[in-house]
Amino acid sequence: MTDSQQLPPESLAPNTTPVTTRLLAEWHEATLRVRAILVLYLSIGAWGGLYGGIALSREFHNAWAWAASFLILEPIGLACLLALVSIVFPNSAVTELLAGALSRARLALWLILSGLGGVILFVVC
């Protein structure tokens, strides 16, 4: 792809974060196959995270289910949904929300990894 076909940074929203700029630059450099796979994965992640959080909190009415829903599933689903929308509409106001959603999803990843590490230590010791 030539430089004239890429999205120039000045055409983005004025408050676009570096993460969003990098995501959109990678999107414009990707082939059609990679774009289709990325849209598919983001759609599955958004639906699975948001619907999974709702289903988990409706089915189980205890603090652990609500914590898993609000601290793990919903941030991941929201980050996938906002990334999908900001790829399709790069100049929208949603791109500003993506950085905050990615930081919440990063926290969810650390919670998952620390829980997995705790389970491994419990089984080994």
Model pLDDT, residue 11? 52
Say how far apart CA 77 and CA 9 lie, in whole Å.
Answer: 27
Say how far apart CA 87 and CA 92 lie, in whole Å.
Answer: 10
Q: Where are the domains of the chain?
A: 16-124
| Closest residue by Cα to residue 24 from 45, 41, 10, 40 | 10
Say how far apart CA 52 and CA 36 lie, in whole Å.
Answer: 23
Model pLDDT, residue 3? 43
The conformation of residue 3, written as its DSSP 8-state character, comes to: T
Question: Splitting the chain (125 residues) into consecutive groups of 10 residues, what average pLDDT does each group show?
Answer: 48 61 83 92 95 92 90 93 87 81 89 92 90
Predicted structure pTM score: 0.76
